Structure 1
Amino acid sequence: MLRDKIWTTYKCRMNAERRYRSYNLLSHLLTSYYSLLLIFLSIFSDQILSNHQLAQGLGIALSVAVFSLSLVLYGFHFSETADKHRECYLKLQGLYDGGNPPELAAKYDEIKHQYPNHSPRDYRDLIVETVLNGHSPVTRPGTAEKVSPTCWQYMDYLARKVSFVVIGYVIHLVWPIVAVRFLLAS
C-alpha cells in the first residue's frame, strides 16, 4: 500500500513538473513576443500609424507592459519549481524501485517534506491521463480501490487544457494584431 502511495506521489510530481515547464515556456514566449512587438512598433511606427502621439503612447504602454510582465513572471520561478518537482520524483522513483520496507515510510516522508507539494489538480490529471493512455485506473493510495475518472473530471481536464491554449497563446498572440488593424483602420 505504501508503494502505491509512492507511485502516485511521484506521478503527480511529474505532472506538476510538466505543468510548471509549460508555464515557463508560455511566460518566455509572451515576454519575447511583446518585446518583438515593441521593437516592431519602434522601428515602423511612422509607416504604420499616421498619429505620432498615438505611436508614442503605444510604445510607452508596451514598454511598461513588457517590463511589468518580466518582473511578475520572474517572481513565479516556474523553472526552479519544475526542477524541484523533478528532483523529488526522481528520488521517489529510486525509493519505489529499491527501497527497503522498514525504511520506506520514513524515507518517503523525508523526501516529501524536502520539496514543494503538487496541486490537487495534478492528482486529478493523473487519474484522467492514466485512463486516456489506455492503462487501468489508478489505485487509491492505501487501499485496493481503483479510481476511475468521473465525467466531471474529464470535462475539467479538457476545459483546463483548452483554456490554457486559448488564453495563454491565442488571445495573447492575436489581440495585438487585432489592435494594430483597428488602429490602422481609424
Structure 2
Amino acid sequence: MFADNIWWTRKARIQAEKRLLSNAFQAQLLLIWYSFLSAAVSIYYLKATASSFANVSWVAFSVLILSISGFINGLSYKERANLIKECYENLQDIYTQAKKQGADIEKIGTRYQEILKICENHEDIDFNIALCDTYLSHPEQLRKDLTKSPTSYIWAKVAFYYIKRSIALMILYILPIGMFIAMEAVVTQ
C-alpha cells in the first residue's frame, strides 16, 4: 500500500534527523572538550619544563582542532537536519491524503517524489532504527498490525551501530587525555 511506504519513509527520515542532530551535538561537544584540554595543557606547559617535542605536538594538536572545526562546520549537520524535518513534515501531509478513500494516488505519488528531492536520503541504519523503535513503541497486541517488523539481523545491525558509535565517541573523548599521558611519559624518560 502506497500510504504505508510514505509512513515508513517518514519514520526513517525522523531517525535521520535525530542522527544528524546528535552528530551536531557530539561534534560541538568534542570541539569544546578538545579546545579546553588544548588550552589547559598549554598553560600547564608554560609552568612545567617540557620537551620541544611535547610543545610542538600540542601546537600541532591545536592547529588540528582548528582544521577539524572548519570541516565539521562544512558538514552542515543542523541545516541538513532542518531539510529532513521539512521533508518528513510534508510527508505527513501526503500520508493523510493517501489514507483517504478515493485518493488520487498518481497525484500523491508525484508529490511524494517532489518531497523526497527536498533533502538527502536517509541511511539504511535510519530505516532499521525506525523499524525497531516503532516495533518497541507499539503495544504487543498492536505489533501484528505493523506492515514491517525488524528481523534478528536488523536487531543485530542496530545493536552493533549503537555499540560502534559508543566506542568511537569514547575513544574520541579519551584521545587527548591519552595523548597528554603519553607525552608526559616521553618527557619524564
Q: TM (normalized to structure 1)?
A: 0.85
2-side partners of 1:148 and 1:95: how far apart?
A: 23
Say if 1:13 and 1:86, in contact at 8 Å, map to a contact too.
yes
- What residue ranges of structure 2 are gaps of 5+ in the alignment? none
Which amino acid counterpart does residue 133 of structure 2 have in structure 1? E
2:149 is matched with which residue? 148
Say if 1:17 and 1:83, in contact at 8 Å, map to a contact too.
yes
Equivalent residues, number: 178
1:30 is matched with which residue? 30
Deviation at 1:163, TM superposition (A): 1.3
1:97 is matched with which residue? 96
Once the two structures are superposed, what CA deviation does each residue of 1:21-74 show, in whole Å capped at 9, x if it has no partner? 111111111111111112112222134x42241342123111221022112212
- For residues 112-123 of structure 1, the aligned pairs below 5 Å read 112-123=116-127
2-side partners of 1:114 and 1:130: how far apart?
A: 24
2-side partners of 1:82 and 1:9: how far apart?
A: 15
2-side partners of 1:178 and 1:118: how far apart?
A: 35
Stretch deviating more after TM superposition (16-25 or 129-138):
129-138
1:11 is matched with which residue? 11
Say if 1:13 and 1:85, in contact at 8 Å, map to a contact too.
yes
Deviation at 1:157, TM superposition (A): 0.5
Compared with structure 1, are the counterparts of its residues 63 and 105 closer, same or farther at alpha carbon in structure 2 (3 Å cutoff)? Answer: same
**In the alignment, structure 1 residue 106 sits paired with structure 2 residue 110:** yes
Deviation at 1:181, TM superposition (A): 2.4
Which amino acid counterpart does residue 133 of structure 1 have in structure 2? S
Which amino acid counterpart does residue 152 of structure 2 have in structure 1? C
**In the alignment, structure 1 residue 87 sits paired with structure 2 residue 91:** no
2-side partners of 1:150 and 1:26: how far apart?
A: 30
2-side partners of 1:3 and 1:172: how far apart?
A: 42
2:179 is matched with which residue? 179
Q: Percent identity?
A: 27
Deviation at 1:18, TM superposition (A): 0.5
1-side partners of 2:120 and 2:156: how far apart?
A: 27
2:165 is matched with which residue? 164
Say if 1:95 and 1:108, in contact at 8 Å, map to a contact too.
yes
1:78 is matched with which residue? 77
1:143 is matched with which residue? none
1-side partners of 2:42 and 2:61: how far apart?
A: 10
- Structure 1 runs (4+) deviating above 4 angstroms are none
Deviation at 1:179, TM superposition (A): 2.5
Q: TM (normalized to structure 2)?
A: 0.84
- For residues 53-64 of structure 1, the aligned pairs below 5 Å read 53-64=52-63
Say if 1:41 and 1:55, in contact at 8 Å, map to a contact too.
no
